[in-house]
Structure formats: C-alpha cells, structure tokens
Amino acid sequence: VEHRRNQESQPVFTPLKSLNDILFYFTHTSQNVSSLADLLPAMDGDTKTMTFLQEVVDILMAYIVESFDRETKVIDFHYPNELLQMNNWELQDEPATLDDILISCRATLKYAIKTAHPRYFNQLSTGLDMVGLAADWLTSTANTNMFTYEVAPVFVLLEYVSLKKMREIIGWQDGRGDGIFSPGGAISNMYAMLLARFKMFPEVKEKGMSSVPRLVAFTSEHSHFSIKKGAAALGIGTESVISAQLKRDMSQGFVPFFVSATAGTTVYGAFDPLIAISDVCKKYNVWMHVDGAWGGSLLMSRRHRWKLDGVDRANSVTWNPHKMMSVPLQCSALLVREEGLMQNCNQMHACYLFQQDKHYDLSYDTGDKALQCGRHVDIFKLWLMWRAKGTIGFEAQIDKCLELSEYLYNKIKDREGYEMVFDGKPQHTNVCFWYLPPGIRYMEDKEERKKHLHKVAPVIKARMMEYGTTMVSYQPQGDKVNFFRMVISNPAATFEDIDFLIEEIERLGQDL
Amino acid sequence: VEHRRNQESQPVFTPLKSLNDILFYFTHTSQNVSSLADLLPAMDGDTKTMTFLQEVVDILMAYIVESFDRETKVIDFHYPNELLQMNNWELQDEPATLDDILISCRATLKYAIKTAHPRYFNQLSTGLDMVGLAADWLTSTANTNMFTYEVAPVFVLLEYVSLKKMREIIGWQDGRGDGIFSPGGAISNMYAMLLARFKMFPEVKEKGMSSVPRLVAFTSEHSHFSIKKGAAALGIGTESVISAQLKRDMSQGFVPFFVSATAGTTVYGAFDPLIAISDVCKKYNVWMHVDGAWGGSLLMSRRHRWKLDGVDRANSVTWNPHKMMSVPLQCSALLVREEGLMQNCNQMHACYLFQQDKHYDLSYDTGDKALQCGRHVDIFKLWLMWRAKGTIGFEAQIDKCLELSEYLYNKIKDREGYEMVFDGKPQHTNVCFWYLPPGIRYMEDKEERKKHLHKVAPVIKARMMEYGTTMVSYQPQGDKVNFFRMVISNPAATFEDIDFLIEEIERLGQDL
C-alpha cells in the first residue's frame, strides 16, 4: 500500500517525467544560474548565501530610504485585477532562479504601501522604527517558538521582564500579575473575556455554556468590534454585548460578568471614565477589562497618563505596543492582575510539550497559558526598542504625536470649509472632520448638503491613492456621513506633513 | 485638567530633572556615541541607518553560518535564574547607545537555541530556509497589515493565489472555496469549530450557546490538545469533546456538529482514515474537519499523499506550512470548502475599516473573515519559498525527511537496547522509542524496570542540553513511561546526523 499512487487526487502536478527531474533541480543547476539549492545548508553554501541575503538586504535598504523620502509616492496604486495581471504571481511546479526571486522581492515592494512614509496617515501601525526592524530581522533569524523556555530561553525571559515592567506602569504593586503577548488586540480582548467568564464560572471550561446562566457583557457604543467578535466566538452571543445600565439587566435574570472599558476608542480616541466604571464593577463584582489597545501607550507619558486614571483597578488590560509605540506588527499584550488564572483557564496538560520532569524551573513554560500552541516571538522588537529609547524615548515619541494632532485640530477647527465631527479637543491623536468643498459649502438644503458631503471623502481618498501623495482614512458613523479620520502614530511625521495633508485635501476636493 | 499629573500613578519613572533631559536624548547625542535618534527618520540618517542595519545583518549572517555548522553547539544552556543574572536584561528609563543594542543582539543569539542546526530534533519547525528567511525580512520591512487590500495590495493577492493553489492540492474543484492564514494551527482548528457551529446553528452568533442544543465534537484520543482548548474557549466545554461512537451520543440528546480527523497526530504521526470518517459525517450531516497541521504537507508528495485520501471530502482543513515545509514561524492555513461562510460567521461590519464605498473590488478586503482585526503578513515567506522550490521542491524536501525517519526506524527497530513505542513503520516522520541503558536492559521485575526506564529519557535529554550537542524530545503517554519522540522536519539533516543522535543517546545514557 505504501507506494500506492492515487492518480485522481493529483491534479496539481504537471506529469512527472522521471525522478531525475527532481534530482536535477536539487543537485545540479546550470553553471550560470543560482538556485535555492546552492544556498545553505548546501556544503559550500556560505558564500552564495551571504551574497543572496546581502542582495535582499540591499533591496530592503533602498526601500527603507525611499519610504522616508517625501518626494516618493506613498503608494503606486493599481486595481486588484490590474495588479494580478501586471506580474506573474502564480505558483508553479518548477523552481525559479535566485535572480527571479530577487525580481519578485522588488516587485512586491514596488506595489506595497509605504506605511513608514511620513505622509501615510491611513490608520494605525505607521512608521518604521529602525531598531524595531533590526529586532524583527533577528527574530526571523532565530525562528523559534514561545511555548517553552527550552526552545526560546532568552525570548521567554524578555517577555517576563517586559510584562512585569508594563504591569508596574499600569500601577499594579511590584508589577505582580500575569500576562501574555498575543497576535493582536482582538485576541487579547477575547482572552480577557475568556478569563472573566472562567473566573466567575470555572465549570464552563469542562461543561460549556450550558452549565452557566445567561451572561451579559457591557461595553460602550464606541468600543472596538472585537468585543462583539469575541462574544460571538465564545458562545456568549453578540446580543449579550450591550451598552445599557448594569442594574437593569441584572433584574432580568442575566448575569453581568464582564465590562470592557475603552481607553482610546478606535474612531474618536475617547477614554471611558475608568474610576467610575471600576466603582460599578466593584459593586456588582464584575470583571473590569480596559481595552487600551490604542490608548494604553499613553501610560508611558507623564503628560497624558491621567486619561487612564483608574486603570490600576482593572482586572485585565489590553495594550498594543504595535500601535502608538510604533513597534512592528504584531505586538499586543494582555496584562492580567490575578496570577495563575490564565494557566488554570487555558491549560490542557499536553504532556508532549509540557513535561513535568524537566530539569529547569517549569514556571517559565508559558504555552499552557495560551490558546495558541505555537506562538510567534513578538517580544524582541518591543524589548530592543525599549532598550534603545528608554521609557523616556517612548514618552517623547507619544507626546510628539499628540502635539501633531493638536496642531491639526487647532489648524482646522475654525478654518473655512471644515467641520469637526465631535466637540472639543481630541483626547488621543484621532482628529475626525469633514471637508466641505466650495460647491456645497453654502448649500441651504441640509439633507441635500449631507448627501453630497457623504461622497466627498471617498472621492478625495480615491484621488489621493491614485496620485499616491498621501493617505488618510474616512468612514461614516451612525447618522454621520463620511468623514475623515486622521490618526497619528508615526513619529516621523512633522507639522509640515500635517500642512501638506490639508493642502492636498483642498487641492483634490475643490472641484467637488 | 489636561496637564494634571497624578504623582501616585507614576511609579515607573525616575524623577524627571527637566524636559531638557528628553530633548537631550533625542536631539543631541555625544559626538562619539550613536543613538537611535541618529537613524532614519533623522534628516541625515541614511548613512547611519545603513551602517547600523548592516552591522545587525552581519551578526545575523554569522549566526546563520554557525547554525548550520555541526561543530557548533545546538544550545549554550543556562538555567533561567542563571541566564537572568548573566546579563542585564532590565528595561530602563534612559536610552542605550546603538553599540549597546548590537551587544544585546549578540547576547540574545548567543543563548538562543539554534533551531536550524541539523542536529536539533526537539520538535517541529526546525531548519531555516534561506529564501523563507529573506521573505520574512522583507515582510518585516513592509510592516503592514492583512486586513484590507488598501494597505496590503500585493500580500492580499498572494494570499489569494496561494490559498487557491492549496485548495487545488486538497482536491477541491478548480480550487474553489475559502480560507485564511491564522496565527498557528490551534487558532485554525478553533476557526473550523466556530464555522461548523455557525453552519448548523447560525443563530449562535447573536444569541450564544443558550439558543442551541448541547453540542458534541468528536475527535480521536491522539488528536491535538487545541481541539479541547477550542471547545473550552467557544463555550462548548471540554467534556463535550469525545472519542466515542457518533450514534450512541445522538441518542442521548446531544447534537454532534463537528468531527476533527487528524492527519498526522502530534505524538505518533498517525493518520485517521479520512474516507471512512467522511462516510459517517455525511450520514449524520456533521462537519468534517481535517487537522492536517502536521500531516497536511504530505499532500505535496506524490509518494505519500495517499495517507490523506478522502481529504477532499472535508469541510475544512488545517495545514501548517511552518511545520513540514520549513516555512519560518508562523504560517498556518485554514482551508474551507464553502465560500462565504467565514465572512458570515465572523463579520461585524466595522465601518471604519471596511467602508462599502471604496473605489476597488471589496472582496479583497479579508479582515471581516477573521477573528483578528489586524493580521500579520504570514503569506510572503510561503509564497516566495514556493516560487524558489516549486511544488516539486517541497515534494523532494518532504520525501527526504520521510526517508530519514525510515532510516532511523530501520536502524533502531531491532537494535539492542531499543524498543519501539508503537508497532509498525511510522506513517509520518515521528519515531517514538525507548532507549534502555545496559543497567536496566535485563531487569526481570517489569514494574521496577518501568520505573527506572521512566527516568532515563529526562536524564539523557538534560545531559544533551548541557553538552549542547543535540536535542530530542521525550514524553510519557497514557500508561507508557517517558519515551523519545523523534520528529524530522529539517531538510538540512542527513543520515549521519541520525547516526550521531543514536550514538549520543547511547554515550549519555550508558551509565544509567
């Protein structure tokens, strides 16, 4: 049976001429063409490997320099079908040469968005920190897994050190508690909800939701959609995520188990009143989570951390260094006040990973705390950047971004043709505004005006992308028609870049 | 209020002398010491950036060459407390110099496990593919997010192309269907369970588990622990994951909704009979998932793909190219037969990301299919490696690893001092065996012998790590005492490396 061939289930291969075809590709390449088979681990692969990697690095370095150059485009935009046809991206049975591989690298970067460009304001995770980048290259090279100390001794310790420091900054005594880096804020928030449910009803782990009463989670209307995604996934249901009064719902037989306060909402960058929320949570004995994916980094700023006053009362905090702190994607921490809970909630005692008779301190094996089995090393880039900047470096960078957004706000709040979407100065770097082109600026009919205004931002955005000069996001929200949502998290941006954005919006929108 | 300082919540900063301290660190560094502030985006940062990155690359290249050198240690082992004390890993308020940063990079790699080393057999995700590495460096440099075509045009297309190719290989007509790359097999498996539940009871998304009957998921005893983790998280409960007969449980009022067949179990590398399972799933109208995280890659091999016969009948398949295909961590695909289901199951219509009036084809925005909001670019390394090797390159690499394990199996199956843990030739590269040192080889008392044998593998493993010569995993399983579990996924390994492992086990264990 072993060598049986099921011809019908082989639709993907071109006919195999002979086994020599394979041997050819892997042991002999023609004299002038280098292939993968020439690189390490080939016996004499050192030099060719160095040469190849150096060529890749040269391409990357040229791209980096270009990304920071205001004379280059943020994007060389093409429609999906167009881009699919512009190159051969298809996967083949036969190998390409190393020269082809370098061409593919260049093509990929040619059509990539320069998220590091100082005029890219489209969304979060902008900028490219050079130490963070170096750290990420090192992480790729070390290519290991966070589940045990055995395979990631240094990285596991650095995660330990960094999480402790972050808990100290939150204000938990001596940095005590627990935590983990997870693949993004949505998963971190889901972890928090999972822990809250387990804390109140530990039997849910074995018996499922049928063993517990109907649960209700509370969050503000402007919270991130991951709270609802989490509730749907965990079997709680999106209808059980509400923004009503705690008291009313308790009287209907629902059991509130989780409140997610937001520190820095996605659209407006608003901060929920954490102290007041903690009082309510304490009164009703409900888990208090702070979703600080976006706003958590303000804890690093002596000038702005008051916006999170009360965060030390939370049971868990999501904090994404890959947003405001410019750590390369992804780097999201969930911090948990109670020690041991993550382990109890998620462990399944897989003996093939977490042997109990190892010769080192097993508390450093973090894998059974996580939902993931393998876990990417996200810590090193944060840790190395923190070393390079110090806490005061992150602080300076955060303060600068907030200054830039204040500058933008002050510039447009009374400028002709602009309207702000919400009242007052932004608490974070989110500046939400409408641009009204001259043609609709004085329209009397409010409904008509609204209808026209709704189309302005998408057109300006599409033109921006086609020119490739800058990018900023837009969106509708409730009964508010499309508005621009400016977010600043790139420390490379300057006051002049803000000026440029305004000029570009006006240039591209004046005929609308 | 804005500039209010809450002194009590600032335990982490050393006293601020003056704002000039910060300015000092960020605008002036002493003449001889380079700091982060000298790098891009500094106005004249190009040269210093190139120099710094090149120094990092030089460190990485030296590490790569060393990793493939059999004369170097796999690991320079230190106990956690020892390692914590050997360097200063603490995070400080003040920034370090770039020289310090380079020292940190060297120290990190010095104590890292060389997972690329040809004698590292500890677990999966071994080897370091040079094209995969180059691709991962490029991914870091592009530093973007998979949620929309807008910010990741090329990567989104490459994911589209690669998932289609993988579905063709599974055998789904014209490669139709859906899928996503997720952070690891555990999350991919959880996605499958989520989809199965939603398919049968779409109301669960809004109303939660209280709206549906008691659910049961089936999987084999040897399946991966992520199935139970998923069931716990999704509110199904671990007790509802059973390896009993479908029919019996239906009669008790439980509703079976999900069967997870394993293609390549973690410990034994065994393959469940997919065709027989698919018949049962069809009869009872239950979702059939194939967890091919480990074994899925055998689909690339004409010689071995028969082990997955019937996989084309599955509703979903997990397949981790970061395991058997040596793609750098992480790269895990979930493939789904039904189009549109992922979107319906997970979407929350977050209008600030997924505007409906964009100027391009919105079907390329993948973010609302995922539980994650931001999603790391995992596709490029797989895509570029596939280009460099071709399908036949992956095939040759997979076949080679299976040959190596066959060699090991043949070598030890009748060798004195060895016992195999399961009967017959391994189906995958997992070779599970006991080594019996001379001292216990002829013990008459079976219980006594078992007791001694249980301690053998941990001691040999600890010695291996201290010598740093090689690494292989061990574990107990059920009533079986600690045995070695050899897995081969590193194409750099040779027959001689297998010989070395055997010799090393015997050398380190002969006095036990």
Residues A367 and A483 placed together within one structural domain of the fold:
no
Which among A59, A78, A141 is the top mutation candidate for probing chain B, defined by the most B β-carbons within 10 Å of its own β-carbon?
A141
The CA-based angle B77-B266-B388, given to 5 degrees, is 80
Burial class (CB in 10 A: 0-12, 13-18, 19+), A57: buried
Q: Are residues B359 and B253 in the same domain?
A: yes
Strand ranges for B322-402 from DSSP E: 332-336
Chain A residue whose CA is closest to B192: A233
Is the pLDDT score of A15 beyond 50?
no
| CA of A247 vs chain B CAs: smallest distance (Å) | 21
How far is it, in rounded angstroms, from Cα A131 to Cα A380? 10
Asked whether residue A310 is domain-assigned, the answer is: yes
Provide the pLDDT confidence category of residue B353 given band limits of 50, 70 and 90.
Answer: confident
Residue A444 belongs to domain with CATH number: 3.90.1150.170
> Which residue type sits at B123?
Q
- Measure in Å the smallest separation between the Cα of A58 and chain B Cα atoms: 9
Which amino acid appears at position A152 of this protein? Answer: A
pLDDT of res. A372 = 95
Per-residue b/e over A325-359, b at no fewer than 16 CB within 10 Å? bbbbbbbbbbbbbeeebbeebbbbebebbbbebbe
Nearest by CB to residue B116, choosing from A101, A143, A348, is: A143
* Percentage of the residues of chain A whose pLDDT score is greater than 70: 92
Kindly state whether residue A294 falls inside one of the protein's structural domains: yes
Residues B269, B353: one domain?
yes
Residues from chain B that touch A426, judged by Cβ atoms under 8 A, are none
> Sheet containing B241-242: which strands, arranged edge to edge?
B178-182, B332-336, B316-319, B287-292, B255-262, B215-219, B241-242
Q: Among B8-17, B49-58, B117-126, B251-260, which is the least confidently predicted range? A: B8-17
Nearest to A312 among B9, B123, B465 (CB): B9
B159 burial via Cβ count (<10 Å: 0-12, 13-18, 19+): buried
Does A130 have pLDDT greater than 60? yes
The residue from A99, A114, A129 where one domain ends is: A114
Q: What span, in angstroms and rounded, lies between the C-alpha atoms of A496 and A502?
A: 10
| Residues in chain A, overall count | 512
Which residues from A are below 8 Å from B430, CB to CB?
none
Could you tell me if B82 and B225 lie in one domain? no
Chain B CA closest to residue A161: B90
Q: Give, in degrees to the nearest 5, the angle at Cα A112 between A106 and A113.
A: 145
3-state secondary structure of B47: helix
The span from the CA of B304 to the CA of B424, in Å, is 16
Looking at the complex, report in whole angstroms how far the Cα of residue A66 sits from the nearest Cα belonging to chain B: 10
- Number of Cβ pairs < 8 A linking chain A and chain B: 590
Report yes or no: B125 and B332 within 8 Å, Cβ to Cβ. no
Count how many Cα atoms sit within 13 Å of the Cα of residue A487 in the half-sphere of its side chain: 26
Q: Distance between CA B336 and CA B195 in Å, rounded?
A: 9
- Report yes or no on A385 lying in a domain: no
Clarify whether residues A72 and A216 are in a common domain. no
Collapsed DSSP state (helix, strand, coil) of residue A332: strand
- Range A5-15 average pLDDT: 44
Which of B93, B114, B135 is the last residue before a domain boundary? B114
Encoding tokens for residue B479? 């009533």
Task: Summarize pLDDT for A322-365 with one digit per residue, the tens.
Answer: 999 999 999 999 999 999 999 999 998 887 777 888 889 888 99
- Please, what is the angle between helix A130-142 and helix B46-67, to 10°? 10
B415-433 pLDDT, tens digit each: 999 999 999 999 999 999 9
Looking at the domain assignment, is residue B37 inside a domain? Answer: yes
* Mean per-residue pLDDT over chain B, rounded: 92
B98 touches B52 (CB < 8 A): yes
Picking from B136, B235, B476, the nearest residue to A235 by CB comes out as B235
Choose among A101, A138, A375: nearest Cβ to B387. A101
Q: Find, among B198, B231, B192, the residue nearest to B335 by Cα.
A: B192
Domain edge (last residue) among A377, A410, A433: A377
Model confidence at B322: pLDDT above 50: yes
CA distances from A475 to A36, A429, A433, A461, B51 (A): 46, 17, 10, 11, 42
Residue of A143, A148, A215, A392 to mutate for B, most B C-beta atoms under 10 A: A143
Q: Is residue A170 part of a domain?
A: yes
Looking at the structure, tell me whether residues B355 and B449 fall in a common domain.
Answer: no
pLDDT at B15: 43
pLDDT per residue over B82-112, tens digit each? 999 988 999 999 999 999 999 999 999 999 9
How do residues A425-454 score in pLDDT, each as one tens digit?
Answer: 999 999 999 999 999 999 999 999 999 999
Does residue A120 lie in a domain region?
no
**Which residues in A320-437 belong to E strands, given as ranges?**
332-336, 418-420, 431-435
**Residue A259 pLDDT more than 50?**
yes
Token duo for residue B63: 């590490």
In a domain, A96, yes or no: yes
Least CB-CB distance to A144: which of B4, B22, B112?
B112
Q: Terminus-to-terminus CA distance in chain A, angstroms?
A: 71
ipTM for the predicted complex comes to 0.94
- Same-domain pairing of A14 and A162: no
DSSP B15: P
Residue B251, pLDDT score? 59
Q: What is the pLDDT of residue A134?
A: 98
Instruction: Give the domain range for residue B184.
Output: 145-377
Are the Cβ atoms of A302 and B16 closer than 8 angstroms? yes
Domain count, chain A: 3
Closest CA relative to residue A42, chosen from A28, A56, A24:
A28
| Closest CB from B92, B152, B492 relative to A41 | B492
B222 and B303 both lie in a single domain: yes
- Give yes or no for residue A27 having a pLDDT over 90: no
Query: Within this chain, do residues A202 and A171 fall inside the same structural domain, yes or no?
Result: yes
Q: What is the DSSP track for B409-447?
A: HHHHTTSTTEEESSSS--SSS-EEEEE--HHHHT-S-HH
Distance CA B371, CA A59 (A): 34
A279-293 pLDDT per residue, tens: 999 999 999 999 999
**Nearest Cα to Cα of residue B404 among B110, B190, B121:** B121
- DSSP for residue B195: H
Identify the band that residue B244 occupies on the pLDDT scale cut at 50, 70 and 90: low
Q: Judge whether A450 lies within some domain.
A: yes
Cβ contact A490:A123 at 8 Å: no
- pLDDT at res. B245: 56
Are A331 and A195 in the same domain?
A: yes
**CATH number for A217:** 3.40.640.10
Residues A101 and A150 in one domain: no
Q: Which two tokens stand for residue A465?
A: 């992308």
**Chain A nearest C-alpha distance from B98 (Å):** 7
Q: What is the pLDDT of residue B176?
A: 98
Q: CA nearest A184 in B: which residue?
A: B374
Nearest CA in chain A to B232: A205
Same domain for A90 and A43: yes
Helices A130-142 and B130-142: crossing angle, nearest 10°?
160
Q: Is the pLDDT of residue A249 over 90?
A: no
